[in-house]
Chains A and B, each alone.
Chain A
């Protein structure tokens, strides 16, 4: 590689993150702290309402995490013990909810409550914290099953066999041999679930109702509804500090992962039947019911069923600047562009993380994970108040949407690429060199083919994330040519009346189908035993 090319590999991702993430976010913080410095944060705690919001944000995230871990761990164990073919299938199925647009998840649960009469009366779940916890469980189930399950599957099962031979029963073996080795994966998964629940937006907005506010929804409320940028910025700054601490903690935990997957060999340990079916039943109930009801609701018109809601997507309603179908098209175009950007930036950045100088790699690793944890709302808000001066007046530009989406997609690309690249055993590169491959050739023959699989997986996630992105987009321009499907769906959902609701459900089903295709691509390309997402 020439020196110019080498420099570009570092500069391009660095510039992208600096301009579209670091600068806007820094601007949010400095706006938040401009008048009163850190006292602005202290002031937040002075307000009784905000104290409540902060407390609620934390405890709902903690409970969501706990519930998700407890409910999903058995499924992770199942996935780990499955044969590869089945593992892929299960992993693909649980991933659909994870990449579903949050508004779709919100919509699905709203539909579920409506269907079973839980939206009013004594057993009301809608607009309660239970609704939020359920939706977070639904949404994050995949995080646990995927990260812990894949890691688990990669563990060398000869250790367990050895323990059994030495006289430990199943449970002792699990507690003394398996669990300690799983700890890094469990910690990483828990950190991610907590982070997602902490900064959850669409779900809380739709299911929590106006009285259940979190920091995230309050940022939106102050910035957009009330026009109080100062308070919004203080809240965003507070959230960012918390997120930074969390991300730092989770990457530190991840770095301590032992490298145990190299000589992993799994024994074909038959799974107990009751365990298998029990687990599948729970998983199907948790993940399948909302989706099934969503589909049912989308087809239900009056007392019967028809495709009328789908047909209605082609027509413009008063609440939207364009027909829902157009919003869907916009979303697809944005997703393609955002994915391309995310793959380029994320791919280059992963190379830097893995092969660059140590210190630079670390900075990149952290810097590129931050957008994953930073609330989308903060990003959208930051871009809104920062990139509004020439030459970078992007606020009303079409491009700002795919760029914002790419920003959220880049961490996924990096997160999938880095473990794949790291997983390439150095001795394989050495073997190629000894067989006569130049360093450039080694990159092309070893790193590229192995890494490209990670890249496709990352691209799949970036695509799905862009299709469903709601938080950041909700700040950005809403013209007929920029309205996205999730934004349209939210508008339809928040308008009272059954007719628009049905249409929203239909739109959700279409979005879900698109996302399912992305997941199918991810799973068919994804290798057998890599850890990570």
Chain B
């Protein structure tokens, strides 16, 4: 579908995007993860044709599209700062791309209603854009980007300022909508829960470079470096035999204290996280601290015997 090959972009000598390559498969959702300022938006702008490349190529169906103007690319984009048209009401913002495609008025009207329904803004058609709240504006921008059903959609933090409930709903519904129509998407986010929930493929960026890419589960279980591991939210980074490794939070099981393979820990904190209980434990003999998702939720101060699955330990550089 889309192939990004060695794309490099600099601003006044500062490299913002550094030799980035990855592919987007047909109908896939690629999630681009990375800390603030690592070049995600810049890369999306380049793909949309809003930002010239210093070097590299962007291929679509094997054809280099770098020479094409944005409106000739058939790539949709939702902007991080929304960029709503201030002189058009909500409905006419959403309608814009449909008019550019030459769609008839009646069809347009239906599509606008459907899109607003999808983003939870039914009845907002005639509202002026200036008075929308941040989350509302964001949803209008999302509806506007989705409406024309481009083959490829670039979403720059599309759910950033939404409340948790709405976000969860859209995280669940958005992939369905995209897959149903067969839209491929590159989705930028900071939020790993969102990333893992939506991604067919994950690309982790840092300082303009691709740090790791792959299937979500692979990336999660086998982070390539400490930076990636930390960015994905891993907290169990340990030293073992001169090597560093990540211990996955689901690697531990509570066993009877008599079990020969078990190690003794003391529970020092517990926290609710996304519906399950996270337990922070301290190893009795070495004082090493780890965080696990444990069944049974032992109370603070208790001693627990844990067995750690070697498969749940993944070495990093």
Contacts and interface: CB of A to CB of B under 8 A. Distances in A.
Interface in A261-298: none
Given A433-B69, A435-B144, A441 B100 contact: yes
Contacts of B144: 431, 435
B50 interface: yes
Residue in B49, B83, B97, B130 with the greatest tally of chain A CB atoms within 10 Å: B83
B76 interface: yes
Interface stretch (A379-387, A397-405, A443-451): A443-451
B87 A425 contact: no
A427 interface: yes
A524 interface: no
B79 A427 contact: yes
A5 interface: no
Nearest to B85: A428
B96 A450 contact: no
Contacts of B79: 427, 430-431
A425 B70 contact: no
A432 interface: yes
A209 interface: no
A434 B85 contact: no
Interface string B66-101: 000111001111010101111100000000110011
A431 B100 CA distance: 12
Contact of B97 (A428, A430, A436, A438): A436
Contacts of B75: 434
Contacts of B81: 427
B34 interface: no
Contact of A436 (B50, B84, B100): B100
Contacts of A248: none
Contacts of B97: 435-436
Contacts of A449: 87
B148 A430 contact: no
Interface in A399-444: 425, 427-428, 430-439, 441
Question: Looking at chain A, what size class is its interface with the partner chain?
Answer: 10 to 19
B71 A428 contact: no
B48 interface: yes
A427 B85 CA distance: 10
Given A427-B79, A430-B50, A431-B79, A436 B86 contact: no
Contacts of B69: 433, 438-439
A427 B144 CA distance: 14
Contacts of A432: 85, 96
Given A433-B71, A434-B48, A434-B77, A445 B96 contact: yes
| Residue among B86, B87, B96, B145 with most chain A CB within 10 A | B87
Nearest to A452: B87
A430 B46 CA distance: 12
B76 A435 contact: yes
A425 B81 CA distance: 11
A267 to B, nearest CB: 15
Contacts of A425: 83
A1 to B, nearest CB: 15
A363 to B, nearest CB: 27
B100 to A, nearest CB: 4
Given A439-B69, A441-B100, A445-B96, A434 B87 contact: no
A438 B73 CA distance: 11
A445 B71 CA distance: 14
B119 to A, nearest CB: 17
B83 A438 contact: no
B71 A438 contact: yes
B45 to A, nearest CB: 8
Interface in B106-129: none
Contacts of B145: 435
B276 to A, nearest CB: 38
Contacts of B83: 425, 427-428, 430-431
A433 B85 contact: no
Contacts of A439: 69, 71
B148 A450 contact: no
B187 to A, nearest CB: 16
A431 B96 CA distance: 10
Contacts of A446: 85, 87
Contact of B148 (A428, A435, A438, A441): A435
B87 A436 contact: no
Contact of A435 (B50, B86, B87, B100): B100
Contacts of A528: 130
B76 A434 contact: yes
Given A431-B79, A441-B100, A436 B148 contact: yes
A257 B79 CA distance: 26
A428 B50 CA distance: 12
User: Which of A433, A438, A439, A445 has the most chain B CB atoms closer than 10 A to its own CB?
Assistant: A433
A437 B71 contact: yes
Nearest to B96: A435
A2 to B, nearest CB: 18
Contacts of A438: 69, 71
A434 B50 contact: yes
A430 B70 contact: yes
B71 A436 contact: yes
B158 to A, nearest CB: 14
A427 B83 CA distance: 6
Name which of A434, A436, A449, A528 has the most chain B CB atoms within 10 A of its CB: A434
Nearest to B102: A436
Nearest to B75: A434
B183 to A, nearest CB: 14
Nearest to A427: B83
Nearest to A423: B86
Contact of A437 (B76, B87, B100): B100
B85 A436 contact: no
A435 B71 CA distance: 7
B184 to A, nearest CB: 15
Contacts of B48: 430, 434
Nearest to A263: B81
A533 B76 CA distance: 38
B160 to A, nearest CB: 15
A24 B76 CA distance: 54
Interface in A103-149: none
Contacts of B130: 528
A433 B45 CA distance: 12
Nearest to A448: B87
Contact of B87 (A427, A431, A441, A450): A450
Contacts of B71: 433-439, 441
Contacts of B101: 436
B8 to A, nearest CB: 21
8 contacts: A427-B83, A430-B50, A430-B83, A431-B77, A433-B71, A434-B75, A435-B100, A435-B148
In the A-B complex, the 10 residue pairs with the smallest Cβ-Cβ separation, listed nearest first, are A436-B100, A435-B97, A433-B70, A427-B83, A431-B83, A434-B77, A433-B71, A436-B71, A430-B50, A450-B87
Interface of A: 425, 427-428, 430-439, 441, 445-446, 449-450, 528
Interface of B: 45, 48-50, 69-71, 74-77, 79, 81, 83-87, 96-97, 100-101, 130, 144-145, 148
Given A427-B81, A428-B83, A430-B50, 12 more contacts: A430-B48, A431-B79, A431-B144, A432-B85, A433-B71, A434-B75, A434-B77, A435-B76, A435-B100, A435-B145, A436-B71, A450-B86
